[in-house]
């Protein structure tokens, strides 16, 4: 079984897609050990309670620096023998987590990397540049905590009547919510191999 921890902040919409995939038995060889949340009043915690999933809160205000916070999270993950770390709307820098769990941290970004990387709202950039297509990217975090090797991508059409809110909503629903569970499934099936900056998805 792949012992997994999910790191989350805020609403937990991405978390819910994973919980749904678990409920329907879509993720093989998978054990969700814990969800770690940065905020005591986050709605993500209610999602965990509704699903009967263990969740713990590690508040950022309890630590003097972001580095010390990442060290505390990393120590907790290692104490629990975590194999895979999933970022589900986590709003803190990974710090030492990325290095200590290299090629074992999966996240999703609301753009087609390398486009609009490190932008606060990539969909705004897509609209301002007149992109016809945008989307999302599932990835492994690199040793610096940035977007590393690409696991998968999903395109989303940019419509002429799109507002920023409508485009962000469709990127989330049509791309992010699909890519994140799919990346976890592939990892748990042992189908992902990282070769330098590339991910090779092995055939069945």
| 19-37: pLDDT as tens digits | 999 999 999 999 999 999 9
The span from the CA of 164 to the CA of 175, in Å, is: 16
Average pLDDT over residues 120-146: 96
Residue-wise pLDDT tens digits, 61-97: 999 999 999 999 999 999 999 999 999 999 999 999 9
pLDDT of residue 203: 83
- Distance (Å, whole) CA 47 – CA 79: 24
Rounded mean pLDDT, 101-119: 96
- Going by their DSSP bridges, the two strands 30-37 and 2-8 should be labelled as parallel
d(CA 102, CA 82): 12
CB atoms within 10 A of CB 137: 25
Tokens of 34: 């814990």
**pLDDT (average), residues 172-179:** 97
Instruction: Give residue 111's pLDDT band: very low, low, confident or very high (50, 70, 90).
Output: very high
Task: Please state, rounded to an integer, the average pLDDT across all residues of the chain.
Answer: 96
Helix locations, 24-145, DSSP H: 43-51, 66-79, 96-100, 122-128
For residue 40, pLDDT over 90 is answered with yes
As a whole-number percent, the residues of the chain with pLDDT over 90 amount to 96
Q: Is the pLDDT of residue 204 over 70?
A: no
Nearest to 135 by CA among 99, 161, 108, 162: 108
């Amino acid at each position: 079984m792949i012992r997994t921890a999910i790191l989350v902040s805020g609403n937990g919409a991405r978390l819910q897609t994973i919980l749904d995939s678990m409920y329907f038995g879509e993720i093989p060889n998978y054990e969700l050990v814990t969800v770690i949340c940065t905020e005591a009043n986050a709605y993500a915690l209610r999602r965990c309670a509704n699903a009967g999933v263990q969740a713990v809160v590690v508040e950022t205000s309890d630590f003097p620096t972001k580095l010390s916070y990442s060290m505390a999270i990393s120590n907790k993950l290692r104490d629990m023998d975590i194999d895979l770390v999933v970022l589900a709307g986590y709003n803190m820098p990974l710090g030492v987590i990325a290095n200590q769990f290299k090629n074992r941290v999966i996240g999703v970004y609301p753009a087609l990397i390398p486009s609009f990387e490190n932008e606060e709202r990539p969909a705004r950039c897509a609209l301002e540049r007149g992109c016809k297509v945008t989307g999302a990217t599932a990835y492994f975090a690199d040793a610096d905590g940035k977007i590393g090797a690409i696991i998968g991508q999903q395109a989303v059409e940019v419509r002429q009547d799109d507002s920023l809110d409508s485009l962000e909503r469709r990127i989330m629903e049509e791309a992010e919510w699909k890519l994140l569970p799919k990346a976890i499934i592939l990892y748990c099936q042992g189908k992902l191999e990282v070769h330098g900056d590339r991910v090779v998805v092995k055939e069945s």
